[in-house]
């Protein structure tokens, strides 16, 4: 099951990397990788294993920290705003696969819209870094 989870999440990181090369932010030796995908892209077994709901109107933000080619533990907090200025807090859960650590937050999407994300990434050394980005999201059809 762990292999399936790691393979599924790695697939989505690679898929998003092809769509937008800038889904990585570096802070010195620390690289923060992030992507957003519709929860229906996850296989049902994978979604169950990490405690996510598969739904056409649910998206997942995936964040990982890498230093010296190794996954790093830390903490991720944050929120997003829509174009109307409505803010929603994100709740991240840590998925530790040994060599890889992911931070996942699930959130509702009601239609096609551009969201503004603001994250605080705390690395294993206790340093906090800010990450801001915009992302257009769509419900799965």
The CATH number of the structural domain formed by 2-137 is 2.60.40.3340
Phi/psi of residue 90, nearest 5 degrees: -100, 140
Nearest to 33 by CA among 71, 82, 84: 71
Tell me which residue has tokens 């699930």.
106
Band of residue 141 on the pLDDT scale cut at 50, 70, 90: confident
* pLDDT tens digit sequence for 88-138: 999 999 999 988 999 999 999 989 999 999 999 999 999 999 999 999 999
CA distance 26 to 111: 31
**What are the extents of the domains in the chain?**
2-137
Assign 29 to helix, strand or coil.
coil
Question: Does the predicted model carry a pTM greater than 0.75?
Answer: yes
Q: How far apart are CA 97 and CA 6, in angstroms?
A: 7
pLDDT tens-digit series, residues 55-78: 999 999 999 999 998 999 999 999
pLDDT at 35 over 60: yes
On whether the CB atoms of residues 34 and 27 are closer than 8 A, the answer is: no
- The pLDDT of residue 99 is 86
């Amino acid at each position: 099951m762990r292999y399936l989870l790691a393979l599924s999440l790695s697939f989505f990181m690679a898929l998003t990397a092809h769509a937008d090369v800038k889904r990585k932010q570096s802070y010195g030796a620390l690289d923060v990788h992030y992507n957003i995908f519709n929860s229906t892209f996850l296989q049902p077994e994978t979604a169950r294993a990490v405690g996510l709901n598969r739904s056409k109107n649910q998206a997942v933000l995936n964040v990982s920290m890498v230093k010296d080619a190794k996954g790093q533990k830390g903490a991720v907090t944050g929120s997003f705003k829509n174009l109307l200025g409505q803010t929603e807090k994100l709740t991240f859960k840590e998925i530790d696969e040994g060599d890889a650590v992911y931070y996942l937050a699930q959130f509702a999407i009601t239609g096609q819209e551009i969201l503004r994300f603001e994250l605080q990434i705390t690395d294993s050394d206790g340093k906090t870094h800010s990450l801001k980005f915009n992302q257009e999201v769509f419900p799965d059809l």
